[in-house]
Each structure stands twice: as C-alpha cells, then as structure tokens.
C-alpha cells in the first residue's frame, strides 16, 4: 500500500493532460455535443473560492459528458479589460497590459493546478487584438443599422475614477468600485438600442422557463419592466407659459392609473427636467430653492430614492378634465429617464406620492372608495378602476389628448467609458462630415501604449498624437474618439467566439458551421450576481448578431445554473472581514482533489456554501481511504458471480450500483440542481459496505465503477487508481446492473407484549420508520384503541410493541 500523496499524483496527471490535449473539442461536427461553460473571470491575478466552486461544477459536467461519449466544448478565457488594471497602473506604475497578461499567466497556472479540463487551444483574453478587431466591427455594423447612437445625458460620474457609471454600478449613491459618492454630469455618450429588443427579451423568457432558475427569470422580467398606461399632457396655466417665455406650453406625463385622474393634487418634475433647467436659467426661483434643486441634480437617482425631497416651483398646470389649477414641484424621486421625467401625483393611491404629499403638506384626495369603486370623479363615479381606465383612455385618445402606450423600464445601454484600459470606440469626428465610423480595413484601432496613467481623467485625452487621425470619409484631418467601451460589451459575445477554432480568429468572427453546431451553451454556470446585466446583454447581443446575419439562434444559454456564494461563518468572504479562505493555501495543504471533493460535498451548487474546516477534514479522510483501500483491489476481468455472494457482499454491490444509478440521475437532471453532495454520500456508503467484504471480483468491480463515478469530481486520484488497476485510458460511462439493486428480503416476526402475533417479509435494509409502519399494518386489530408505550426492534428478526 502507498500513502496518498496529492501533489505527486496531481502533478503527474496534469502533465499528462496538458501534453495529450485530451480536453480539446473534436473536429467531428456530426457527433452529439455538449457545450459546458463557466463564466470567465476577470484576471485579478489570483482566483478565489467562488471561482473554484464555479469551475468545479462546470468541470464535473464536462468530464461526465466526455464519459458518456459527447463531443464536449469546455473553454476558458479572460474578461481582461477594466478598471483594476488601470488602478494597478496608478498604484504601482505597471502598465495595464503587462499587469493583465501576467495575471492571466498566474491564473492559468492555478486552473491547471486544480485539474480543470479546459480547452487550452481556445483560450483568449478580451484585450487580445483579434478580439478587439471583431468587436469594433460589430460596433460599426450596429451603428450603421441604427442600433448605436450618441446622446447628451445626465450620467453618474465618479469624481475619483473620473468615469461614467451605469446605474447598477452605483450602490447606495456610491461608486461600486471605490465607494466615492457619485455626482451627476451631462455629456454625450454612445448608447446601444437594447430597448428595441425589449419585447423580445421579455417574451422569450418564457422559453427558458424550467431551464433557468425562476428567480433569474423574474429578475430579468422586472428589469425589463413592461407596463401599459397612458401618455398625456397637462397644459400650463397662461401665467406660467409667460414666465417660461412661451418656450413650454405643457407637461407630458405617463401614468398606469388614469382612473385616478380626479385624485391628482400635484405634478412632480424630475430634477433634470428641461422646465426646471429653464426656471433656473431665468432666475425664477429663490436662492434657497435653487440650491436645493442643484443638490438634487447632483445626486444619483439611487441615492435620491433613500429620502424624499421636493421644492415648490412658481408654476401651475391645469387639470385636463376639471381645469382646476394644480401646483408643480421638483421631486427627487421622479426619474429623468423614466417616461417623460414627470408624473401626476395621486397621494391617496400611490405610496410614494403619499409620502411626498405628507412631507410637503399637499392635499390628499381619495377617489377610490373602500368598496374599490370610483368616487369624487364626476361622471365616472361607481365604475371599477379597470372600467374607468378604459373609458378615460378612450376619452383622451378620442380627443387627441393622450395615447395608450406600452412602457418599459429597460433603458438603452450607455457604453461610453472615459477610461484607458478598454476597447476603443471606433468612431471619428470630422468637422466636415460629422460623426463617422472607422473604415473596416483599419480595424482594430488599438490603444497607444505610451500613455501616462496617473488616475486623473482619461490618459487618451492627454496623449499627444492619439486623437489626430484622418477622416474615413473625406481624408481631412479629424479627431479620434477617445471613449472606450463598457467591459460588458466584451462579455456579451465571448461565448460565441469559443465555437470557432483559433486558427480562424484573425480572419473571421465566427466559423458558421462550428457556431451552429456548438451553440446554444448547454449549461452555463455562474454567480447569481450576473442574473440581470450580463445575461440580459448577452441575450441582446445574440439577437443583434442574429439579425446581422451571423447566427441563427434566439437564446444563447439553453440551461443556466447559478451557484450560491461561498461564505465563512455565515458572511461573504472578504479581506475586510478577515474571513477569506485562499484556494492557494488549500491546494498547498490538501491538493486539488480534496478541495474539489469538499466543495461538492458540503453543499449542492445553488445553495450557499459556508466554509467548514471539519467537513474539509472529513472529505480529506474519505479521499485518502478511497486511495489507500484501492491497493486491496486487484483487477479481475469478470463480474462477481451473484449466486456466490454472501449477504454483506450483496449489500456492498447494491450500494455501488445505487451510487452509479444516482450518478446518472444527477448528471441527466432526473434529480434537478446537480446535488453532487448526495452522490458523494452514496459513494461513501458504498465504500463502507465494501470494506466489510473481501471478495476480489467484487472489489475489482466496485473500484472500477467508483473511479468512474468520481472522476468528474476528483479526476486525479481516479485517473491514478484506474490506471494502476485497470490500465484505463478513457473513462466511459458505466451501466447499472438492475439485478444488483434488488433488495434482499427477510422475514420479521411481529409480537405484542412479547407474544408473536404475525410476521412480514420486508427489504433487508428497510429503515426503522418504514419497518414499524409495515409491522403495525399486520397487527392492526390488536393495536386498536390501545396506546403503544414502546417499540422494540431486534435487527433482522423482530418488532415488539409494548402496549398499555
């Protein structure tokens, strides 16, 4: 017997795998395929436990499907643009490119040390020039199709990073990366018209029902946020029109509750509404109000939502039906970018309006009574809200005062970033021709490398020659765009790129046949934090590229698994809490197989994993035992003869085949959610039972099956054992022997107060509760009306009921 030495076994097998290329997808595109993808990482330089978990799940699936005979694509790459590289440049003076590629090399080694079966030939980083070239081409095609446009916009601005942030990158009013309070700033930005696809993105969520976690589907649905309502306007009072120098005559609003029109007691404008701007410009508000308004304008929508604030404006509108005057406020909870940036306030029936009205002493007028029908609403009294909505919408539309519209909460995707380390937006501004896309033959437009990165502003703006170029239309001197793209742009199509062999990357985006063969992704695995943005953008890109003629696919990810967080002591691992368990240390101390076994053993993928050192030791003990006991097995080329097995041997064989059956059920999703923890438990039970036996044929069969079941989880040790015992080259899915599963039957006597009354034949390993239940059934007439004081069980022999 040899003692288990993780490092020598693991290094040996990792070297074999790297040399042999066994994890590369096959060129044969006629075989059944599985595309198993774990979300690619940002190359921070060191992987964390969340990565280990994510990739251990994906790797188990990839290895299983190779066993079953599929052609498997299991690629890995790096989401390599973004701010940390620039921050490192600022902090340590190292160039982002150098920092990034060095980190990639380190992480690649860590992946290898964990034994993940990634295709190495398809790895890329999103900052590779071949990738930039293709995606700049996509950008230009989208621009030409009207899917990209430029717009002046109020944006979240991080004064520290000097960059625009998406709403989702603002957390409680602060920058998601550096925690600086965010302010609002207006500037021209490039937008992708994702709203054009809002309806399809929403409708096709239905096709994913049952394949994606329902929680993710609900989050996407809410994010798209479809609502049906009426867009109409309030006329301004004549004096107000005069004050605004005849520039504005009305205020557009959007409501989903036109039935509450008689309950309107105020109108509220977003702080960035143009009428507010006009009032400030004309100096029509007092200094205190002006200051309050400017403060609101400088606060992000998220931060504004925390506490309601408002300022009364020197303006009035007229109620469209009663013609009564209505006061107009600036309110911080009104969003610039939702509807028309203004709303009709109905404090009696909307909780936000109610809070606002209470705060500012605005009247509250109830127009729906306790019975749920309209009141104080002129001729509409007595109608239900739904009836009133129909009638009033008809009225407004009939008189051309308003229009029924479908509104989406989803907004166009602002992709401009004023940062260096990103993919350049391939546009040029020419004094004569305006905004012009680069010529396709000039792509990629790459970043200049001689830049000064000091944390202030965009290094590209400060570069002496970068911006100067010639106009792609007229050849006269022009200015190159210095904005780079949101890194979500890169992660929106990387999964499509892997389908194409590397040799073609320089010349084409996708190899159409390979793309058609490999996509959709059969199982996509990643953190639930990507439930909204990344997954929505990736779905959007798939549809856009489909419409541009690159692919024939509506939805990119056939199945989605979101893994739970890795915690320690119930809290998310973080440096600040000092509760980080580093994969590097665990690898050092235990090796990859034990780390992987542990991760799969303590929790099923979708559940949170609370780090537990005891369970880690338990996993380590099992793995060592599994390895060391394998020296008791010797190869035997025939299966054990069933009729010669004694009861213990029969039981051991049954447990092995039960584990195998579970293995199939789990990987084939007959048992949903990949509960590998139960599979490992079944293997542990099988090994326990096996240890009570000595039959060589049985041990041989058991080890053959167990190494196959466990290879997806602990591949190194299984490869080692299978090679030594069986000269096994490739793992091939095994078949369950249904005869092995048959339970041994035994006869149990049933007595009452010590007197035998009946007997029953049951499965040998029937658990206690089931046995008692069956016994009771047999002796029911003696039990009726009596109280059972005690149930005494003599294993495999007798059940005795002690009655009062």
Count of other CB atoms within 10 angstroms of residue 216: 18
Residue 344, interface with ligand ANZ (CB under 6 A)? yes
Which of Zn ion, ligand ANZ, none lies near 334, with the C-beta cut-off 5 to 8 A by kind? ligand ANZ
335 contacts ligand ANZ (rule: CB under 6 A): yes
Q: Is 411 in the site for ligand ANZ (CB under 6 A)?
A: no
Q: How far is the CB of 215 from ligand ANZ (least distance, A)?
A: 20
Q: Which of ligand ANZ, Zn ion, none does 350 bind, CB closer than 5 to 8 A by kind?
A: ligand ANZ
> What is the per-residue binding string for ligand ANZ in 211-230, x denoting contact by CB under 6 A?
----------------x---
Q: Which of residues 345-364 bind ligand ANZ (CB under 6 A)?
A: 346, 349-350
* Beta-bridge partner residues of 174: 171, 181
Residue 185 CB burial class (10 angstroms; 0-12, 13-18, ≥19): middle
Nearest to 189 by CA among 159, 156, 149, 157: 149
| Residue 425 DSSP class | P
Minimum Å distance from CB 293 to ligand ANZ? 16
Rounded to an integer, what distance in angstroms lies between the CA atom of residue 226 and that of residue 598? 43
Among 151, 432, 572, 732, binds Zn ion (CB under 5 A): 432
Residue 434 pairs in a beta bridge with: 430
| Residue 430 contacts Zn ion per CB under 5 A | yes
Residue 283: left if φ>0, alpha if ψ -120 to 50, beta else—which one? Answer: left
Residue 301 makes contact with ligand ANZ by CB under 6 A: no
Residues in CB range of 493: below 8 A, 6 or more apart: 135, 138, 538, 541, 542, 545
| Residue 586 touches which of ligand ANZ, Zn ion, none (Cβ within 5-8 Å per kind) | none
Residue 620 phi, psi (nearest 5): -60, -40
Stretch that binds ligand ANZ, among 99-107, 133-141, 338-346, 641-649 (CB under 6 A): 338-346
User: How many residues form the binding site for ligand ANZ (CB under 6 A)?
Assistant: 18
Return the number of other C-beta atoms located less than 10 Å from residue 450's C-beta: 10
Size, binding site for Zn ion by CB under 5 A: 6
Pick from Zn ion, ligand ANZ, none: which does 432 bind, CB < 5 to 8 A by kind? Zn ion
Longest distance between any two alpha carbons in the chain, whole Å:
109
Give the footprint of ligand ANZ on residues 252-291 (CB under 6 A): 254-257, 260, 270
Q: In whole angstroms, how close is the CB of 330 to ligand ANZ at the nearest point? A: 12
For residue 429, the cross-strand partners are 435, 479
For Zn ion, which is the closer residue by CB, 301 or 469?
469
The neighbouring-strand residues paired with 14 are none
435 binds Zn ion (CB under 5 A): no
Q: Which of 433, 528, 565, 783 binds Zn ion (CB under 5 A)?
A: 433
- 71, β-bridge pairs: 33
The residue from 96, 271, 341, 583 that contacts ligand ANZ (CB under 6 A) is 341
Which range touches Zn ion (CB under 5 A), out of 40-48, 260-268, 465-473, 757-765? Answer: 465-473
Alpha helices per DSSP H over 418-474: 459-462
Considering beta carbons, is residue 282 or 434 the nearer one to Zn ion? 434
Q: How far is the CB of 271 from ligand ANZ (least distance, A)?
A: 11
Nearer to ligand ANZ, 270 or 326 (CB): 270
Among the listed residues 271, 339, 640, 715, the single contact to ligand ANZ using CB under 6 A: 339
Q: Whole-number minimum distance, CB 38 to ligand ANZ, in Å?
A: 35
Distance CA 256, CA 684 (A): 59
Q: Where are the beta strands (DSSP E) in 332-442?
A: 342-345, 402-408, 413-414, 416-417, 427-430, 434-437
- Nearer to ligand ANZ among residue 219 and residue 779 (C-beta): 219
Distance, CA of 709 to CA of 80 (rounded, Å)? 36
403 binds ligand ANZ (CB under 6 A): no
Which residues between 471 and 530 bind Zn ion (CB under 5 A)? 471, 473-474
User: What does the block give as tokens for 75?
Assistant: 């690629």
* Smaller CB separation from ligand ANZ, 341 or 459: 341
CA distances from 211 to 2, 55, 112 (A): 45, 20, 30
Q: CA Rg, the chain, in Å?
A: 34
Residue 187 CA to residue 793 CA, distance in Å, equals: 80
Rounded to the nearest 10 degrees, what angle do helices 583-590 and 96-113 cross at? 30
Residues of this chain that interact with ligand ANZ (CB under 6 A) are: 227, 254-257, 260, 270, 334-335, 338-339, 341, 343-344, 346, 349-350, 407
Residues of this chain that interact with Zn ion (CB under 5 A) are: 430, 432-433, 471, 473-474
């Amino acid at each position: 017997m040899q003692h288990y030495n993780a490092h020598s076994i693991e290094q040996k097998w990792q070297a074999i795998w790297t040399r042999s290329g066994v994890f590369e997808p096959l060129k044969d595109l006629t075989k059944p395929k599985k595309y198993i993808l774990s979300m690619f990482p940002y190359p921070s330089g060191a992987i964390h436990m969340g990565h280990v978990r994510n990739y251990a799940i994906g790797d188990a699936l990839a290895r299983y499907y190779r066993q079953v005979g599929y052609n498997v694509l299991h690629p890995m790459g790096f989401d390599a643009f973004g701010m940390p590289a620039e921050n490192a440049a600022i902090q340590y003076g190292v160039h982002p490119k150098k920092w990034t590629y060095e980190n990639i090399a380190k992480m690649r080694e860590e992946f290898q040390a964990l034994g993940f079966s990634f295709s190495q030939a398809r790895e890329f980083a999103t900052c590779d020039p071949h990738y930039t070239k293709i995606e700049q081409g996509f950008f230009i095609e989208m621009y030409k199709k009207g899917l990209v446009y430029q717009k002046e916009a109020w944006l979240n601005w991080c004064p520290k990073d000097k960059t625009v942030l998406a709403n989702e990158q603002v957390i409680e009013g602060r920058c998601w990366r550096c925690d600086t309070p965010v302010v609002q700033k207006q500037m021209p930005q490039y937008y992708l018209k994702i709203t054009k696809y809002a309806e399809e993105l929403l409708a096709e969520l239905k096709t994913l029902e049952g394949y994606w976690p329902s929680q993710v589907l609900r989050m996407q649905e809410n994010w798209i946020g479809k609502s049906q309502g009426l867009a109409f306007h309030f006329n301004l009072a004549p004096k107000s029109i005069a004050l605004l120098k005849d520039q504005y005559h009305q205020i557009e609003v959007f409501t989903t509750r036109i039935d509450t029109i008689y309950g309107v007691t105020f109108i509220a404008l977003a702080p960035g509404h143009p009428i507010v701007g006009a009032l400030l410009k004309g100096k029509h508000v007092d200094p205190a109000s002006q200051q309050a308004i400017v403060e609101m304008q400088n606060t992000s929508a998220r931060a504004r939502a925390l506490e309601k604030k408002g300022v009364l404006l020197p303006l009035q509108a007229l109620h469209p039906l009663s013609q009564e005057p209505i006061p107009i406020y600036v309110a911080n909870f009104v969003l610039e970018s939702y509807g028309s940036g203004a709303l009709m306030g109905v404090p009696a029936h909307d909780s936000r309006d109610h809070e606002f009205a209470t705060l500012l002493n605005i009247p509250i007028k109830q127009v729906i009574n306790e019975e749920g029908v309209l009141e104080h609403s002129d001729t509409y009294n007595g109608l239900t809200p739904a009836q009133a909505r129909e009638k009033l919408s008809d009225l407004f539309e009939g008189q051309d005062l308003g229009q029924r519209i479908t509104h989406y909460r989803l907004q166009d995707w602002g992709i401009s970033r004023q940062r260096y380390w990103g993919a350049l937006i391939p546009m040029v501004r020419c004094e004569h021709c305006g905004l012009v896309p680069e010529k396709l033959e000039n792509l990629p437009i790459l970043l200049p490398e001689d830049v000064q990165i000091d944390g202030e502003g965009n290094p590209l703006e400060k570069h002496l020659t970068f911006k100067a170029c010639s106009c792609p239309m007229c050849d006269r001197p022009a200015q190159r765009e210095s904005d780079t793209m949101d890194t979500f742009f890169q992660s929106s199509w990387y999964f499509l790129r892997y389908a194409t062999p590397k040799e073609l990357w320089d010349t084409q985006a996708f190899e159409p046949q390979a793309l058609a063969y490999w996509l959709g992704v059969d199982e996509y695995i990643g953190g639930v934090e990507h439930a909204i943005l990344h997954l929505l953008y990736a779905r959007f890109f798939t549809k856009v590229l489909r419409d541009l003629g690159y692919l024939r696919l509506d939805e990119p990810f056939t199945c989605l698994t979101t893994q739970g967080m890795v915690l320690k002591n119930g809290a998310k691992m973080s440096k600040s809490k000092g509760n980080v368990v580093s994969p590097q240390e665990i690898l050092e101390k235990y090796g990859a197989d034990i780390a992987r076994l542990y991760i799969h053993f303590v929790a099923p993928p979708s559940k949170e994993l609370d780090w537990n050192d005891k369970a880690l030791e338990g996993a380590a003990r099992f793995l060592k035992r599994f390895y060391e006991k394998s020296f008791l097995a010797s190869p035997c080329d025939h299966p054990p003869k069933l009729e010669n097995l004694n009861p213990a041997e029969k039981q051991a064989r049954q447990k092995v085949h039960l584990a195998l059956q579970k293995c199939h059920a789990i990987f084939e999703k007959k048992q949903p959610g990949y509960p590998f923890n139960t599979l490992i438990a079944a293997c542990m039970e099988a090994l326990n039972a096996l240890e009570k036996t000595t039959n060589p044929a049985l041990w041989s069969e058991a080890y053959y099956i167990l190494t196959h079941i466990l290879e997806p989880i602990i591949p190194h040790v299984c490869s080692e054992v299978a090679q030594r015992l069986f000269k096994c080259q490739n793992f091939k899915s095994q078949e369950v022997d249904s005869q092995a599963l048959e339970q041994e039957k035994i006869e149990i006597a049933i007595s009452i107060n010590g007197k035998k009354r009946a007997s029953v034949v049951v499965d040998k390993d029937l658990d206690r509760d089931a046995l008692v239940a069956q016994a009771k059934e047999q002796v029911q007439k003696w039990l009726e009306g009596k109280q059972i004081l005690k149930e005494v069980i003599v294993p495999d022999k007798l059940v005795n009921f002690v009655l009062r």
